[in-house]
Amino acid sequence: MQSNEDLEPTVRIRELKKDRVNFVLGNVDLAFANSLRRVMMADIPTVAIDMVEIETNTTVLPDEFIAHRLGMIPLISTNCDEAMRYTRGIAKEHAKFSPCSAVSFEYDPYNKLRHTTYWYETDIKGEWPLSENAKEEEAPRDDEPFDFNAKPNKFYFEVETDGSLGPQEVVMKGLAELQTKLANLILGLKSGPEHDMVANDVTVNGHGPAIDNPWTGGATWTSPANTSATTGWGGSTSPSRGGGASSSWSSQPTPSGGGGGWGTGANAGWGSPERRSNGWNV
Amino acid sequence: MPDGSGRSLYKSTFNTLAREESFRNPPKDGSTYNILNEFVAPHIESFNALFDDSGLPSGDGDGRGLLNLCLKDIGERVIFDGSGRADSENGTGGWGNRMRVWIEQVTVARPMVPDKDRTATERKVFPTEARERLTSYRGRMTIKICWTDTSGQQHDTMKDCGLVPIMVRSVRCNLRSMSSADLVKHHEEPEEFGGYFVINGNERLIRYLILPRRNHVISLLRPSFTNRGPSYTQYAVQIRCVRPDQTSVTNTLHYLQNGSAMLRFTWRKQEYVIPIMLVLKALVGASDKEIFEGVMMQDYENTFLSDRVELLLRSFKMFTMHTGDQCLEYLGDKFRVILGLPEDWSNAAQGAWLIKKMILVHVESPRDKFRMLLFMLRKLYSLVSGACCADNPDSPQHQEVLLPGSLYGMIIKERMEDILNNIKSNIMADVRNGLAVDFNDKRYFLKALSKVNCDIGSKLANFLATGNLISPTGLDLQQASGFTIIAEKLNWQRYISHFRCIHRGAFFAELKTTTVRKLLPEAWGFLCPVHTPDGSPCGLLNHLSRSCRIVTSPLAVAHIPALLAAHGMTQAFTPSIDGRKNLCVQLDGRVIGWARPSIAQQLATNLRIWKTEGKLDVPLDLEIGLVPESKGGQYPGLYLFSTRARMMRPVKYLANGRDDQVGPFEQVYMDIACTPEEIEPNVSTHVEHEATNFLSILANLTPFSDFNQACSPRNIYQCQMGKQTMGTPSTALQHRTDNKLYRLQTGQSPVVRPALHNTYAMDAFPNGTNAIVAVISYTGYDMEDAMILNKSGHERGFAYGTVYKSQIVDLKDMRGASKSTASPTLHFGLGNDIPLSGEKMHPCLDFLDYDGLPHIGARLVSGNYIAAYVDDTTGRTKFVKYKGDEIGYVDQVRLLGSDAGDSELQKIHITLRITRAPVIGDKFSSRHGQKGVCSQKWPAIDMPFSESGMQPDVIINPHAFPSRMTIGMLVESMAGKAGAMHGLAQDATPFKFSEEDTAINYFGEQLVAAGYNYYGNEPMYSGITGQEFAADIYIGVVYYQRLRHMVLDKFQVRTTGPVDPVTRQPVKGRKRAGGIRFGEMERDALIAHGTSFLLQDRLMNCSDYSTAWVCRTCGSLISLGYDDISLGEMVVGNSGSLKPTGPGGEYCRVCRAAAEELEERERQALASGQSLQPPQADLRVAISSQHVLNRVSSKGGDLDVVAVPYVFRYLCAELASMGIAVSLEVR
């Protein structure tokens, strides 16, 4: 996968419907893809009925049950995070705020990476139907040697929403949310007086060396707040602190805007294919 | 990716729309689920039999209800107004005038509004009213008492017997034969099937009880019989004889060592034994030869038999009675005292009455009784000689069922008998006391009658409410309590199984031997092998198999003897029958003839063909028990049974392909194939209709139960857990007043269900949720049967439950209530002392309305007001508070009035609703006995997910499977997954698959069609890292039940709290905020670990730590005394020295007294010149110095403060009271 390293992340939409989008995310690493999945499921603000005052209840259903059921109704929540200040929530608070009904996620349909083992009784081909996504990839030849350095880099997503947000919006908001989270993280890391301490820790632990980190090259910290750290700091810590920062970080001034580059695959700036090489061992 | 592309191949099979329609518009004729009415039929029909006409021709039953038969059997009481002295001038024998008293008629009315109520337009009372008003559902009972005056003229009067509880949906119930739509109109469920009584708002039913089979002689071998008296042996034969009115008498024939036999019976709980010869002679005046021939039956070579018959005859010689009349005379003379018969009856008449009422009461004529006794003798001798074996009384072959209605009738009969006896004793007491007794004065009789307590209704209500039988005779039953149970509506499964459960008897529960609990092959098809609780009632509390019926009406069999005689049976009266070559033919315990074995075989076959084909009026429910000849086996014969209370079940008769009903007696000698494939030519006689018919309803509802290990307890566990599930208790929840109801708000119809799921209306009362279940060891939180729930699923309402609790506020029970009901002093409402508005508005108005009753929907926390009432005498308002720990909501408020509806409101019933969302610690289970506790609610994003984005609702650990082998659950998971993808209700009936056609392949194909792995596995990804798991995961859809055991009802925690006043140790009990016992075994564990600090912490510091003064000199713990030295020390006594005390003035009373005594003695010794020994304590306990807290200077009272458990001080004090001193050595 060395050849993919310099490639830019790609998104290819295979199908876009009213309630679902099917796309292939390429040239990102697994952690990023999973982060996107998690953010789309749990961190996108939507609107839902949260408080119900019942005057009289003549039904056979108890009050709190009706209130709960009302809360489950998906309400159209487009741009609710900008338009509404209070009455919105995210799925981390309650599942009713999740805009996604399901996010399907797959990589490596042929199991070339051997992350898993397919158990079978007699016949692996007969018992394990290939997924649709297998068409996107080349079937391994029988004599193909196992590439133990290979990393997953092509992720098949299908985001199905409950109708509160459009699928496109979910993905865009998800990306933006991810961006915001990382920005906040970086901001938090940079702003305090404990910089030196962090920096010391990092260097002592030997995680810092910029030399073995191919990602450092692209990381130029142009964020205005970054006044103190010009050497070593950003490059050494940010990959291990959650990744996602990139050279184009400052080119997107409004994290929630999402930009118009959706689906073109030209949306540069999401590149940390080797983030995992530094591990998450803070 | 799975997309369900195969969906179009299948058609939906859930019948959702049809069910919805029938629920909205219940059928106006008939019932939604007719089978429910069938399975409670024994309850209702047996109750109906008390009143109903059986519609049978004369000779087969009396054509009247059992209560009328009871009246006939009770007969009349005779009262005399004379003293009985022969020298008095009154009439014959000095008895004076004769008055006969009897009950002519008994009627029970339907429940009606009392006449006092003039406003009600609907005069009928329906069960829902009784339920909601917490009263009983009762109808008025009246009896017609007749008596004769001195001239023999008959008079009668009606007597009210109070209100008798009426079985719901019986002939005396106002819901009788209502359609589902009408039932709903009367606030019942559309599926209401009745069969129970409503007592004080509770639904109670009389449980089936196993009794010995009636009218059939069984041979017994009981070592305990030898204890009955000298020369008694372990051999006996026994017959439980049942009269037409269903009351019974058990006769036992004991074999004595001298070869003779004694007949035993019970009269008013007292046992009596009579020599069998006496009875045989008394019955028909039989000569010795007749008896000899009758027992020998031409088997003269059998010296064993002839020896014993000879001994039998010889031993009777000493009685010197030769004719029947002499025997009757003798019997009457001996039994006259206890029988209480008319005094002017002769001894012979009394003897005849005794034999009629106590010996072989199932047959009328003495000749039949005689023949039957001879048969019993022959069977007894055969048992003794070893020609036949003892019968097993624990086998269903020799058992029948005590029907609820029969028991009810027996109790009514006994109460009516009591009334007559009381009338008699009342009048006789008047005669004895010399009061004016005039048999011609109607007013006198009515006055005497009014002194008799005729309230049968309250006695029956008491019986039903407590289950205790108060009876002078014991009703020939082995127990006196535990007859009734509450029909708990916890969920539908529990509810319906109450009506099918059958108990072996309370007597057997105490038995140390476990043989009665054994599952016998004879029970096949009648009692479910799976559905029995584990624990103490295991094997004693059984459930009827699904297809098992209980016969509730007598059959028309009067023509059967003639029919059999026409086909080769030798008539019973034929003299000189060869007993070696002929088998006895009996019909309901009456010898109707004899037949050679081959002919008996032919007769049995004929009867079976006739009865299955409905020819020659042979009823289908006739049981044809042909016991073939065998060496040392069961005593042979052809035994026909046509009476009620027998278990029967349908099977197919192979000879003609017709439906047959078989009973447990005959089944033993049949070859019934389980499936058509198993039929063996020329061997099998019958075949089961369904292979699953031997299971009870609940056991049938376990999906794929045949895949679980054959003898595994898992299916047994599921039968228990299905009954503990939080499900849907009722669809008429608004009209229920149960103490506690559990309700699952989000119940679903299972995807995988056996065929019977629909049959028994399970979908009307959903019991669980279809959950996506992954079998994976994910975080470690699923160890040891714990399970992880998906938090998002939980937030969307997975397994969300509600508990409904009742609180009753009865002003009659409050302080300050007046005794009179007419003018109560307490009234619901707010008094003038409550400011209703403004600044000082009373806080109670947040919960209560001006009428003093709570608002519907009010949210209550502990201590909130739930009702208010005004006391007339003080004029103040008092409040009733909510005393639960949890937040409750007022769901309903019921105002309960009196029966006539004419009194002021004094009682309300409040239903509180308590929400119970699943929390960590709540119990769940699948339908395969796999229970587990929720250990963690994991957020959806962290849950593992499949490629299609499915996340499990439930994660369980793979270790739950290997040792338990619940393959059924794995198959259910596959089937559920395929069913969910294709929209199929999967049929999970057991025994549908075979080795050739396996379930795995069937559902595997479906899964592949839906795009899944053949065996139900899926690659899954970690929700946290997104990485694919190294192994693929078994994931599917399993129906999960939420059990009612919730942590909120069970958690117990305490730091400090109440202690026992005597021991000062923490009290026990969750309710009292007590501690959990740290018992001996726990103590052992700490000792074994050497954790002494913990040991001391648990047993001392956290329990009854106390400090105490101990005397260093005498070691006493309990001899502390104080001198008040706050104002300086005092010189006491004539010695003039300072008394030694500690710094606080404490001293040891023993030592001071001893010292003073010693001083005194020394003074005396000095005077007399003797030496002394100091007294020694007899018990010494060493206390190490580290426990000594406060070492006082030794010069004072020489006392130390030590830390000891308080109970130790208590023990010392108690020992001291017994004169034992405990001495502590302080080092």
Q: Per residue in B592-620, pLDDT tens?
A: 999 999 999 999 999 999 999 988 889 99
pLDDT at residue A263 greater than cutoff 50: no
Q: What is the DSSP string of B908-963?
A: EEEEEEEEE---TT-EEE-TTS-EEEEEEEE-GGGS-EETT----SEEE-GGGSTT
Residue A129: list chain B partners with CB under 8 A: 1008, 1011-1013
Shortest alpha-carbon distance between residue B793 and chain A (Å): 8
Alpha helix ranges (H) inside B11-158? 16-24, 34-39, 41-48, 66-74, 127-132
Query: Which amino acid is present at B340?
Result: G
Q: What are phi and psi of B734, to 5 degrees?
A: -70, -15
Q: Are strands B647-653 and B659-662 parallel, antiparallel or unpaired?
A: antiparallel
pLDDT at residue B795 greater than cutoff 50: yes
Residue of B734, B800, B950 lying closest to A102 (CB–CB): B950
Chain A contact probe: residue of B796, B938, B943 with most A CBs at under 10 A: B796
Residue B1028: list chain A partners with CB under 8 A: 107-108, 115-116
Q: Per residue in B814-846, pLDDT tens?
A: 888 877 767 888 899 988 888 888 888 888 888
Shortest alpha-carbon distance between residue A196 and chain B (Å): 30
pLDDT at residue A128 greater than cutoff 90: no
Q: What is the pLDDT of residue B410?
A: 92
Chain B contact probe: residue of A29, A54, A64 with most B CBs at under 10 A: A64
B49-85: b (≥16 Cβ within 10 Å) or e = bbbbebebeeebbbeebbbbbbbeebebbbbbbbeee
Residue of B793, B800, B1014 lying closest to A126 (CB–CB): B1014
Q: Which tokens sit at B248?
A: 């019974």
Q: What is the pLDDT of residue B54?
A: 47
Q: Per residue in B1008-1027, pLDDT tens?
A: 898 898 998 999 999 999 99
pLDDT, mean over chain B: 87
Q: Per residue in B57-85, pLDDT tens?
A: 444 444 568 888 888 888 888 888 876 65
Least confident of A141-145, B129-133, B925-929: A141-145
Q: Are strands A10-16 and B197-199 parallel, antiparallel or unpaired?
A: unpaired
pLDDT at residue A7 greater than cutoff 90: no
pLDDT at residue B395 greater than cutoff 80: yes
pLDDT category of residue B1128 using cuts at 50, 70 and 90: low
Q: Per residue in B398-442, pLDDT tens?
A: 999 999 999 999 999 999 999 999 998 988 888 888 887 888 888
pLDDT at residue B238 greater than cutoff 70: yes
Residues B947, A158: C-beta atoms closer than 8 Å:
no
Nearest to B665 by CA among B605, B619, B623: B623
pLDDT category of residue B1120 using cuts at 50, 70 and 90: confident
Residue of B734, B939, B1026 lying closest to A34 (CB–CB): B1026
Residue B1003: list chain A partners with CB under 8 A: none
More confident: B583 or A250: B583
Chain B contact probe: residue of A52, A58, A70, A127 with most B CBs at under 10 A: A127
Q: How far apart (Å, rounded) are the C-alpha atoms in residues B50 and B58?
A: 18
Q: Per residue in B316-330, pLDDT tens?
A: 888 888 888 888 989
pLDDT category of residue A229 using cuts at 50, 70 and 90: very low
Region B884-893: what's the mean pLDDT?
Answer: 91
- Are the C-beta atoms of residues B77 and B102 closer than 8 Å to each other? yes
Least confident of A17-21, B22-26, B50-54, B580-584: B50-54
pLDDT category of residue B1162 using cuts at 50, 70 and 90: confident
Q: Per residue in B1046-1064, pLDDT tens?
A: 888 888 888 888 999 998 9
pLDDT at residue B234 greater than cutoff 90: yes
pLDDT at residue A236 greater than cutoff 80: no
More confident: B1197 or B501: B501
Q: Which tokens sit at B628?
A: 């073939």
Q: Which residue of A has its CA nearest to B794?
A: A95
Q: How many CB atoms are closer than 10 A to CB A133?
A: 22
B806: Cβ–Cβ under 8 A, 6 or more apart, which residues?
Answer: B737, B738, B739, B740, B909, B910, B911, B912
Share of chain B above pLDDT 70, in %: 93
- Are the C-beta atoms of residues B772 and B946 closer than 8 Å to each other? no
Shortest alpha-carbon distance between residue B671 and chain A (Å): 41
Q: What are phi and psi of B601, to 5 degrees?
A: -60, -45
* C-alpha dist (Å) from residue B228 to B239, B240, B325, B376, B512: 18, 20, 30, 20, 21
Residues B1019, A116: C-beta atoms closer than 8 Å:
yes
Q: How far apart (Å, rounded) are the C-alpha atoms in residues B780 and B786?
A: 9
Residue of A69, A98, A119 lying closest to B1017 (CB–CB): A119
pLDDT at residue B955 greater than cutoff 90: yes
Residues A91, B940: C-beta atoms closer than 8 Å:
yes
Q: What is the pLDDT of residue B98?
A: 85
Residue of A96, A119, A121 lying closest to B1032 (CB–CB): A119
Residue A118: list chain B partners with CB under 8 A: 1013, 1017, 1019, 1032
- Are the C-beta atoms of residues B781 and B935 closer than 8 Å to each other? yes
Q: Per residue in B447-506, pLDDT tens?
A: 888 989 989 999 999 999 999 999 888 888 988 889 999 999 999 999 999 999 999 998
Q: What is the pLDDT of residue A240?
A: 35
Q: Per residue in B925-954, pLDDT tens?
A: 999 999 999 999 999 999 999 998 999 999
Residue A94: list chain B partners with CB under 8 A: 795
Residues B1025, A30: C-beta atoms closer than 8 Å:
yes
Least confident of A210-219, B48-57, B674-683: A210-219
Region A164-182: what's the mean pLDDT?
Answer: 91
Residues B1030, A31: C-beta atoms closer than 8 Å:
no
Nearest to B853 by CA among B872, B875, B873, B880: B880
Residue A131: list chain B partners with CB under 8 A: 1, 947, 1011
- Are the C-beta atoms of residues B220 and B237 closer than 8 Å to each other? yes
Region B168-193: what's the mean pLDDT?
Answer: 90
Q: What is the pLDDT of residue B107?
A: 87
Q: Per residue in B350-389, pLDDT tens?
A: 989 999 989 999 998 999 999 999 999 999 999 999 889 9
- The tally of CA atoms less than 13 A away on the side-chain side of residue A175 is 23
Q: What is the pLDDT of residue B43?
A: 93
Residue of B913, B941, B1013 lying closest to A41 (CB–CB): B941
pLDDT category of residue B245 using cuts at 50, 70 and 90: confident
B1012: Cβ–Cβ under 8 A, 6 or more apart, which residues?
Answer: A129, B2, B977, B978, B981, B1018
- SS3 for B793-820, per residue? HHHCCCCCEEEEEEEEEEHHHCCCCCCC
Shortest alpha-carbon distance between residue A66 and chain B (Å): 11
pLDDT category of residue B741 using cuts at 50, 70 and 90: very high
Least confident of A129-133, A256-260, B137-141, B161-165: A256-260
Q: How far apart (Å, rounded) are the C-alpha atoms in residues B462 and B455?
A: 11
Q: How far apart (Å, rounded) are the C-alpha atoms in residues B1016 and B1036?
A: 7
Query: Which amino acid is present at B36?
Result: L
Region B773-793: what's the mean pLDDT?
Answer: 91
pLDDT at residue B1193 greater than cutoff 70: no
Nearest to B261 by CA among B325, B324, B217: B217
Q: How far apart (Å, rounded) are the C-alpha atoms in residues B1185 and B1165?
A: 37
- Are the C-beta atoms of residues B809 and B908 closer than 8 Å to each other? yes
Beta strands in B154-260 (DSSP E): 154-165, 197-199, 202-206, 208-212, 217-221, 232-242, 248-256
Helix, strand, coil percentages, rounded to 5, for chain B: 30, 25, 45
Highest mean pLDDT among A134-148, A195-209, B453-467: B453-467
Q: Which tokens sit at A231?
A: 């050497």
Residue A64: list chain B partners with CB under 8 A: 889, 915
Residues B1015, A127: C-beta atoms closer than 8 Å:
yes
Shortest alpha-carbon distance between residue B1026 and chain A (Å): 5
| ipTM score above 0.85 | no
Coil, strand or helix at B977: helix
Q: Per residue in B286-303, pLDDT tens?
A: 888 888 888 888 888 888
Coil, strand or helix at B868: strand
Q: Per residue in B965-1010, pLDDT tens?
A: 999 999 999 999 999 998 889 999 999 898 899 999 999 999 989 8
